[in-house]
């Protein structure tokens, strides 16, 4: 039995896409699979240029925000950028501080401490900022659900401008302006901007008004980091932001990013979206998970080579500590899940689960068992949870149905968080479990693999890989193309890596032999037969100073 459900995507029904585009049939099919159904859409997607960028004036309340910020700049008011402690929030904070400072603004950052303050706008923090003489607070990556906090700020005479990308509640906070492309009254053509993306659009509107839009180019690296780190779909405008940002990161990286690249042993000049996902973003996130995210903010903003080096080393150490802690807590949470028995909703709870890595552990559990998972740090009076879900279960919708039990919650369909009085915990778990049982009843709870096309191994020779790379950067919403090859001959297969955790294969078809690697498939060695149907990506294997193509095998099934 396959470990995944294989879903071979249908052929493009309209051959105009192939004939009029000038692209090879396989590339045209890949573009169709990514939702591009008109020939006129193909070239802008491949180019990934400014044509994908929306007009910021179409964002709700943008003109109100611009007017209030201009007033603050002209009168020399003290402005605070109130961010979040994840990579998206950190980059968005840096982006607005750098952008507004370039306009002569008196701007300082405020990023709450994950462990002592928690996520989002907090009344105590706003009151403290007001006492310090702050008159304008601009949020990034938070604030859309902060009704009570904004009302309190209004009573203090503290003006709030909200920029956020999380799902809004039916009632919008009574801020001076609330900029969010997910607002129901938004006419903005792309709703999937991240916190950093929305912050960039606010700056774009500000810069346009004074003829300085070219200054935006130097901030694209921050927008790209935040967009990829937050796992936003790399389609539409996000594709443009990430392509432009990667160009900047590869050509002239800011000091802090250059030091992260150096400490992590990456190759400067050849970084892609995966480099951000797997290497840069975890290090930026590590500070906020275990200590204070200001370390990562300072790294992004420093102009001192020595400070950049010191901070990058600190983040490298924090990330290694985060990895060790994640492994330890995951083992404990997994044991707890297995002892309870696998149910439609997985819940691991305990007083010693660290808040900073609860989301990571929930994500690992959801991935392994293909169930929505919640990891909860229980306290005597207040508890907090991090949720990760699967496409078949919208976790933020489920939390919304239990909102009367919660003190605070927010997030997306696949990732969310909440706090609540501990006395409500058992009731919440009961309600969420019931919702999951109802919605997932009868579902095939195996992850599915969308397969772009069925090909024979000889078809992948020549410049096929180079052609496919035109679709990069790859990520959520624009995954690396996945192929199916039926009945390939297994020339050789053995385990490799620590404790034989991976499979290394040689596969033959039509007289052509390819190397293949099945990461984490070492325990499936006994399933290998003389012929296999394989699902895979093409990737570059960089080893010993050489580069060669290989198959990254995602799943396989024996064939007779």
Question: What is the residue range of 187's domain?
Answer: 56-216
Put the strands of the sheet holding 415-421 in their side by side order: 346-350, 373-377, 382-388, 415-421, 408-411
Indicate whether 457 belongs to any domain: yes
Give the Cβ contact number of residue 383 at 10 Å. Answer: 22
User: What SS3 string covers 40-104?
Assistant: HHHHHHHHCCHHHCCCHHHCCCHHHHHHHHHHHHHHCCEEEEECCCCHHHHHHHHHHHHHHHCCC
CATH number at residue 453: 2.40.50.460
- Give backbone dihedrals phi and psi of 200, rounded to 5 degrees, phi first: -65, -40
Domain of 71: which CATH number? Answer: 3.90.1640.30
Straight-line distance from the first to the last Cα atom of the chain, in angstroms, rounded to the nearest whole number: 14
Taking only the tens place, the pLDDT of each residue in 166-219 is 989 899 999 999 999 999 999 999 999 999 999 999 999 999 989 999 999 999
Same structural domain, 118 and 173: yes
Q: Domain count for the chain, please give it.
A: 3
Q: What is the pLDDT of residue 20?
A: 61
Are 95 and 208 found together in one domain?
yes
pLDDT (0 to 100) of residue 15: 64
Q: What CATH number should be reported for the domain holding residue 411?
A: 3.10.310.30
| Distance between CA atoms of residues 275 and 277, nearest Å | 6
90 and 32 share one domain: no
- Beta strands (DSSP E) in 392-482 are 408-411, 415-421, 448-451, 453-454
* Statement to judge: residues 381 and 453 lie in one domain: no
- Whether 70 maps to a domain, the answer reads yes
Question: Which two three-digit tokens encode residue 323?
Answer: 């990895």
- Measure Cα distances from 150 to 84, 176, 185 in Å: 17, 10, 20
The predicted pLDDT at position 215 comes to 92
Decide if 160 contacts 142 (C-beta within 8 A): no
Task: Give, as one character, the DSSP assignment of residue 367.
Answer: H
Q: Which two tokens stand for residue 4?
A: 């995944």
Residue 354 maps to a domain: yes
Residue 263 lies in a domain: no
Q: Is residue 455 part of a domain?
A: yes
The pLDDT assigned to 21 comes to 62
Domain boundary among 399, 419, 440: 440
- Are residues 63 and 120 part of one domain? yes
In a domain, 250, yes or no: no
- Which of 216, 236, 254 represents a domain boundary (last residue)? 216
Q: Are 29 and 169 part of one and the same domain?
A: no
Instruction: Note the pLDDT of residue 548.
Output: 87
Enter the tokens of residue 29: 């099919």
Phi/psi for 498 (5° steps) reads: -60, 125
pLDDT score for 19? 60
Q: Which two tokens stand for residue 523?
A: 């325990």
pLDDT at position 271: 94
Residue 138, CB half-sphere, CA atoms under 13 Å: how many?
36
Specify whether 133 is located in the same domain as 189.
Answer: yes
Same domain, 60 and 37: no
Cis peptide preceding 473, ω within 30 of 0: yes
Q: Do 462 and 433 belong to one domain? A: no
Low-confidence ranges of the chain (pLDDT < 50): 1
Looking at residue 117, its pLDDT comes to 86
């Amino acid at each position: 039995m396959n470990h995944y459900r294989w879903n071979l995507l249908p052929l493009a029904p309209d051959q105009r896409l192939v004939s009029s585009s000038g692209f090879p049939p396989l590339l045209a099919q890949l573009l169709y699979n990514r939702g591009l159904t008109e020939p006129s859409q193909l070239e802008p997607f491949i180019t990934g240029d400014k044509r994908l960028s929306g007009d910021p004036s179409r964002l709700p309340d943008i003109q109100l925000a611009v007017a209030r910020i201009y007033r603050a700049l002209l009168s020399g008011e003290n402005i605070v950028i109130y961010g979040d402690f994840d990579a998206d929030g950190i980059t968005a904070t840096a982006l607005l501080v750098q952008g507004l400072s370039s306009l002569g603004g008196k701007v300082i950052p405020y990023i709450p401490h994950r462990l002592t303050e928690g996520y989002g706008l907090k009344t105590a923090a706003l009151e403290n900022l007001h006492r310090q003489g702050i008159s304008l607070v601009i949020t990034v990556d938070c604030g859309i659900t902060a009704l009570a906090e904004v009302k309190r700020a209004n009573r203090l005479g503290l003006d709030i401008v909200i920029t956020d990308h999380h799902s809004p509640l039916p009632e919008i906070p009574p801020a001076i302006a609330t900029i969010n492309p997910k607002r129901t009254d938004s006419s903005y053509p792309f709703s999937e901007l991240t916190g950093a993306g929305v912050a960039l659009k606010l700056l774009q509107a500000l810069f346009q008004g004074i003829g300085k839009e070219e200054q935006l180019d130097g901030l694209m690296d921050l927008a790209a980091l935040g967009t990829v780190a937050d796992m936003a779909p790399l389609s539409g405008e996000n594709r443009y932001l990430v392509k432009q940002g990667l160009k900047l990161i590869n050509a002239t990286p800011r000091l802090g990013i250059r030091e992260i690249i150096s400490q992590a042993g990456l190759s400067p000049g050849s970084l892609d979206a995966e480099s951000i996902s797997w290497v840069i973003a975890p290090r930026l996130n590590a500070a906020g998970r275990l200590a204070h995210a200001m370390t990562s903010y300072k790294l992004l903003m420093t102009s001192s080579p020595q400070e950049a080096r010191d901070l990058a080393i600190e983040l490298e150490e924090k990330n290694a500590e985060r990895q060790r802690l994640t492994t330890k807590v995951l083992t404990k949470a997994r044991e707890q899940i297995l002892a309870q028995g696998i149910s439609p909703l997985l819940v691991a709870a305990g007083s010693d689960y660290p808040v900073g890595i609860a989301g990571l552990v929930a994500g690992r559990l959801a991935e392994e068992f293909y169930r929505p998972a919640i990891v909860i740090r229980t306290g005597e009076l207040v508890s907090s949870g991090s949720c990760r879900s699967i496409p078949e279960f919208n976790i933020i919708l489920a939390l919304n149905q239990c909102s009367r039990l919660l003190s605070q919650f927010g997030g997306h369909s696949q990732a969310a968080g909440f706090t609540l009085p501990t006395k409500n915990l058992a009731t919440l778990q009961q309600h969420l479990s019931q919702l999951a049982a109802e919605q997932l009843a009868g579902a095939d709870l195996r992850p599915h693999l969308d397969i772009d096309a069925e090909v024979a191994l000889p078809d992948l020779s020549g410049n096929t890989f180079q052609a496919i790379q035109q679709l990069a950067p790859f990520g959520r919403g624009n995954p690396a193309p996945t192929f199916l090859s039926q009945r390939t001959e297994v020339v050789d297969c053995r385990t490799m890596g620590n404790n034989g955790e991976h499979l290394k294969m040689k596969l033959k078809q039509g007289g052509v032999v390819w190397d293949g690697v099945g990461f984490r498939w070492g325990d499936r060695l006994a399933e290998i037969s003389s012929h296999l149907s394989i699902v895979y990506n093409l990737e570059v294997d960089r080893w010993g100073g050489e580069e060669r193509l290989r198959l990254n095998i995602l799943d396989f099934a024996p064939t007779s």
